[in-house]
Amino acid sequence: MYFLLEDKYGKQFTFYHLPKTGGSSIRGIKNKKDGYFKLIKKSDSPLESTFSFTIIRNPYERLISMYSDFSDNRGILKNWDDLINMMKTESPTPLQDTKTWKNVNEHVKPYSPIIESNKFDYVLNYANYTEDLLNMCKREGIHIDIAEFPRNNVSFSKTHKIPDVYADYVTDYLLKDIEYYKKTTNENIDSSEYFGNIKFKIRTIDEKKKIIYPVNTVYIPKIKK
């Protein structure tokens, strides 16, 4: 989705929001919280403005963040099987809710083809969220009142792992985005840290803290030294 934004002095620019890249903090969340800039217009098509930008993220982290949000916060996904099955189908099956399927696939679809076809003026890195945004604003003369960008909807949890059984499928699905991310950011990605040998299919419970951990979650308790 394209958003035409404006700073307090009326300078306008276009932001293309890729899900799970901290975009809600920039454009704001309807009826919940204002963004850093005033929202003028949104569109499914590119918008005319002085410059445009988007934010990309490590594809594995982005997928895990999406899963964490849809399972922990929204309760839409029961486990990784639900997510992978939706990713594998080109349209909803009779057993899949159409609205949920569209929402899930909108969040996980590869982003590199969209970015490469749009030729944005700035492609920022989620890993350097604050620094990249502030540098862009300074270079373009965009006014912003804060020195650091707090993020809304932070849902990436390092306790989540993608089941090993889906390693080949997920890596192949994300391959173009992985290559684009590495080329654009000059960062290496160690895929092994995002996968785990998840054997259980039930929710795990920390009896002492009475915390219920989501399905297919790796819980690593802290060890007292």
Distance from the Cα of residue 204 to its chain's centroid:
26
pTM of the full structure: 0.80
Q: 3-state class of 158 per DSSP?
A: coil
Q: pLDDT tens for residues 153-176?
A: 444 555 688 999 999 999 999 999
The region, left, alpha or beta by phi > 0 then psi within -120 to 50, assigned to residue 134 is alpha
What confidence score (pLDDT) does residue 119 get?
86
Can you tell me which residue has the tokens 């799970």?
Answer: 20
* DSSP string for residues in 27-59: H-BTTTB--SSEEEEEESS----S-EEEEE--H
If you ran DSSP here, which 8-state letter would residue 214 be given? P
Quick one: pLDDT band at residue 198, thresholds 50, 70, 90?
low
Lowest mean pLDDT among 31-45, 97-111, 132-146: 31-45
Residue 61 has a pLDDT of: 93
pLDDT in tens, 76-101: 888 899 899 889 887 877 777 888 88
Domain residue ranges of the chain, discontinuous segments joined by +: 2-213
- Is pLDDT of 18 > 90? yes
Please report the pLDDT score of residue 99 as a whole number.
85
